[in-house]
Amino acid sequence: MTVAKDKQNLQNIRKLKKLLRLIPEDRKAIGEKLVEEISFMSETLMELKKTVSEKGVVDLFEQGKQKFMRESPALKAYNTTIQRYSLLYRQLTDLLPKPEPSDKAKDELLEHLQGKG
């Protein structure tokens, strides 16, 4: 991995660690595992993105005497990985405590429910 990628990965991990600090203690172990997987997937996505950028989105595939174009295996892996990455990220953010509605929002909701809004 290059120095730039190492630096970017470190920044991503720091951001995830900050998020991890906000997770309640009873769910922190789950959050730590998710951060570990998200970090790995982030590195993988960078490598796949580089491969797709260098080699393109299609591949010339030979089967016997026939040649045809197909989706690049790196692109296919990238698409699958990015979907899973998004799911893991959502799981991580779902571990965060839900924000308390502001007093103004509570008052507006109460007024609406009472038929005043």
Stated pTM of the model: 0.73
For residue 39, the enclosing domain spans 3-113
What is the pLDDT, as a whole number, of residue 55?
94
Which of 83, 85, 73 shows the shortest CA–CA distance to 48? 73
Strand, helix or coil for residue 19:
helix
* Whole-number pLDDT of residue 44: 94
Whole-number pLDDT of residue 2: 65
pLDDT of residue 102: 64
What is the residue-level pLDDT of the chain in tens, covering all 117 positions? 567 677 777 888 888 888 899 999 999 999 999 999 999 999 999 999 999 999 999 998 888 899 999 999 999 999 999 999 999 999 999 999 987 766 676 677 677 777 765
Question: What pLDDT does 108 receive?
Answer: 73
Domains in the chain: how many in total? 1
Q: Which two tokens stand for residue 82?
A: 């990015």
Concatenate the DSSP letters of all residues of 58-117 into one string.
EEEEEETTEEEEEE-HHHHHHHHHHHHHHHHHHHHHHTSPPPPPPHHHHHHHHHHHTT--
